[in-house]
Amino acid sequence: MFALIGSEFAKLKRTLVPLVCIAAPLCAATFTLLFVLRLRGGEQWLNLLGEGAATWAFFLLPMSITALTILLAQIEHAPKMWTHLLSLPAPRSTIFAAKVVVAFGLTGVMSVIGYALIYAALWLGEFVKPGVQLVGDAQFDELALAFALMAAGAGLMIVVQLWAALRFRGFAIPLVMGIVGTFAALALASSVRGVLLPWFIPTYVLTLQQPSSQIAIWFGAVGGVVAAVAMVFHLGRQERFD
């Protein structure tokens, strides 16, 4: 299993995955910097960090997960490597489980980078914009917890997207799923909360003080594990991926 996970990470060097892991957090930092540059005076850290976290939860996290899972699947789909991969002397289930582990790991790495770059953008904006001063608590622990919970709550979304990306050789179906799911979450933002759409679940971190939001995050995390088991079982029984 560990050898397969190492092999999966080694394959990433020849893909656009590292670029996505950097580009998405850079976009979050850029948007945050633009928020700062609009200011004309003092502003609470809490308000600006909330803007950055909301941008990440509603748009950048689901779209980057869509891209990552498609790229992870296309490593095998594009060169038609499934026949070789599934003939290896390893249980099929471990091959797909390794993909899941890598997808979760990359989401965690991307979240850490996003967390760091948002603070870098705020400090940069405060430095380059005359008269702007960030006041109040910098919320280091709170934002770290928020990003960790968003990554955990995204578990179900990760598996759903990866499942579709691995099941279908073309990338159109998982791409459309990701786009529709992301914009559906944006549309639901102004409606009554209580929807457990996978792409919407990470946004519950923004209202974590509510018990229903905590339940939603747990649902995304535990649902991701359950869905991963189901995905591994289902794909392990597939004979063809072309």
Tell me the mean pLDDT in the region 195-201: 88
Q: Is the pLDDT of residue 186 over 90?
A: no
Residue 241 maps to a domain: no
Residues 6+ apart with CB under 8 A from 120: 29
Q: Per the domain annotation, does 72 fall within a domain?
A: yes
Decide if 30 is inside a domain: yes
CA distance to 9, 125, 152, 229, per residue, from 241 (Å): 21, 48, 29, 19
Task: Output the pLDDT for position 219.
Answer: 95
Burial of residue 15 (CB within 10 Å: 0-12, 13-18, 19+) is middle
In a domain, 23, yes or no: yes
- The number of distinct structural domains making up the chain is 1
Domain interval for residue 216: 2-236
Does residue 242 sit within a domain?
A: no
Say if residue 213's pLDDT is above 70.
yes
| Chain segment 134-153, per-residue pLDDT in tens | 888 889 999 999 999 999 99
Does residue 135 form part of some domain? yes
> Are the beta carbons of 25 and 119 closer than 8 angstroms?
no
Residue 84 lies in a domain: yes
What's the rounded mean pLDDT across residues 108-123?
Answer: 95
> In this predicted model, what pLDDT tens digit does every residue of 1-59 receive, in sequence order?
667 778 777 888 888 999 999 999 999 999 999 888 887 777 788 888 998 999 999 99
pLDDT tens readout for residues 58-79? 999 999 999 999 999 988 877 6
The pLDDT assigned to 188 comes to: 76
180 within a domain of the structure (yes/no): yes
Contact 94, 38 (CB under 8 A): no
Residue 241: pLDDT band (50, 70, 90) is low
Confidence of residue 170 (pLDDT cuts 50, 70, 90): confident
